[in-house]
Chain A
């Protein structure tokens, strides 16, 4: 599913957090929203999910104006930075949640739900942990439960907020590769937020580089590196030597 935004503005009180955001993400892409903390990237992600509303501008999901569609109807898989797993539910119950809260007419029977949960847990390599509770899992395992839970609703788009932020270095690398391969396997439009340029470069088809509420440049990792549109882009992505040359020009 494609995502387009036109002239999105958002303020928190008097503070502008997003200004004139025009974003174009094609169906099936894996895009990283990259930028220093406080640049508005998480807010943009939450606007796409429907957890925040923009003050102005439009959001199109699959070409349809979704600016006023409630979050629960957007069919967006959202993985929170700290996973937000339901702490009183087992792994299986967490994953099944999105299926169980469907309106009666669209609800699957319990047997089908169980089969689906088993498939999803297999996909995220958590077979055998169905009855554990979130508190009994490692960080990486929780991350994958959150992913499985988001995938259970067959999202049209997968949104990941700092998906590796809370993990240690080794796990991050593995998970990065794994998400990349998962993306290729399920072919769902994926947007992830990160402040780590190495991570963005490693995983994304294209990078949206943001600074202070604005999009500085949107391009492939190579293009960003080779043809930075602004000094900020060059500085943010560049090696120290290149940074010096930016400062020189």
Chain B
């Protein structure tokens, strides 16, 4: 049909050169700001050859850092999943005094610099801190040990899931839940069969963001880590230490590992979005209900 392409051209009013310029600018910007650094990470990482690259990754301290980082994320993401759902549920489906304050509190970690967040925990749990003497007397180590790293990571990542859910759940309102109520469903059934299926994509997206931050967090963790090699050194901290020790190739090799984790996360997110766009499998909701029943 010859008329078709002409129609398409009419649909955009901007001249062709402007469109090309804008597209060019966008691609150029993405290339410069995102792709180039990524390429640089891998170039630098492989500068001393694939053997040196591999050696940097399998070195015991790097391996320990990787497991620590994965472990912390594995612990923090499910906890924040529960917290995020509970907070969003409370805020959007119920009315209670102090609700506005709670919403502000949920957002607080976003407005606090991560380094300050770390310092707050040192001030509370450190030897000179609020609970310090009590903890020292009981030989409990919070900061400069795993509990501290987990705590600050929880702190900085806590808003991600709630933030994804609250606007969505607010937009969805409570009518579906009320409908389920009049149809005889109990609270648990309403949650598993109505609320959760409606938010599952936002939930997944929030979990992905939360996970990315949990693995990548530097500032807050740096303050409470204690930097003990092989013990409390996370991957981002390990990158910094290597870099400061004039071991760029190793530093970038470990950084490339973080980049790969980020890329992997991105791919998961992309797949999730494609699944979301596709007509959904009708079996999903009854399955979720089936688990609850």
Same complex origin of A and B: yes
Chain B window 139-183, contacts with chain A (Cβ cutoff 8 Å), 1 for yes, 0 for no = 000000000000000000000000000000000000110111111
Q: Looking at chain B's contact residues, is the secondary structure mostly helix, strand, loop, or mixed?
A: helix
CB-CB under 8 A from B179, the residues of chain A are: 78, 80, 84-86, 149
User: In the complex the two chains form, is B182's CB within 8 Å of A71's CB?
Assistant: yes
CB-based nearest A residue for B188: A101
Task: Determine which of B175, B180, B186, B280 lies in contact with A97 in the assembled complex, contact meaning CB atoms within 8 Å.
Answer: B180
Q: Which residues in chain A, 188-237, are within 8 Å of chain B measured between CB atoms?
A: none
Give the docked Cα–Cα distance between A75 and B184 (Å): 7
CB-CB under 8 A from A152, the residues of chain B are: 183
Task: Determine which of A51, A88, A133 lies in contact with B182 in the assembled complex, contact meaning CB atoms within 8 Å.
Answer: A51
Give the docked Cα–Cα distance between A150 and B181 (Å): 11
Interface size on B, residues (CB 8 A): 23
Chain B window 258-284, contacts with chain A (Cβ cutoff 8 Å), 1 for yes, 0 for no = 000000000000000000000110101
Chain B window 281-293, contacts with chain A (Cβ cutoff 8 Å), 1 for yes, 0 for no = 0101110010000
User: In the complex the two chains form, is B185's CB within 8 Å of A101's CB?
Assistant: yes
CB-based nearest B residue for A88: B197
Task: Determine which of B176, B193, B282 lies in contact with A101 in the assembled complex, contact meaning CB atoms within 8 Å.
Answer: B193
> Would you call A167 an interface residue if the criterion is a C-beta within 8 Å of the partner chain's C-beta atoms?
no
User: In the complex the two chains form, is A51's CB within 8 Å of B178's CB?
Assistant: yes
User: In the complex the two chains form, is B178's CB within 8 Å of A84's CB?
Assistant: yes
Give the docked Cα–Cα distance between A124 and B135 (Å): 68
Q: Top 6 nearest A-B pairs by Cβ distance?
A: A98-B183, A84-B175, A84-B179, A101-B185, A78-B182, A88-B197
> Would you call B43 an interface residue if the criterion is a C-beta within 8 Å of the partner chain's C-beta atoms?
no
User: In the complex the two chains form, is A93's CB within 8 Å of B282's CB?
Assistant: yes
> Would you call B231 an interface residue if the criterion is a C-beta within 8 Å of the partner chain's C-beta atoms?
no
Q: Which residues in chain A, 83-110, are within 8 Å of chain B measured between CB atoms?
A: 84-90, 93, 97-98, 100-102
> Would you call B248 an interface residue if the criterion is a C-beta within 8 Å of the partner chain's C-beta atoms?
no
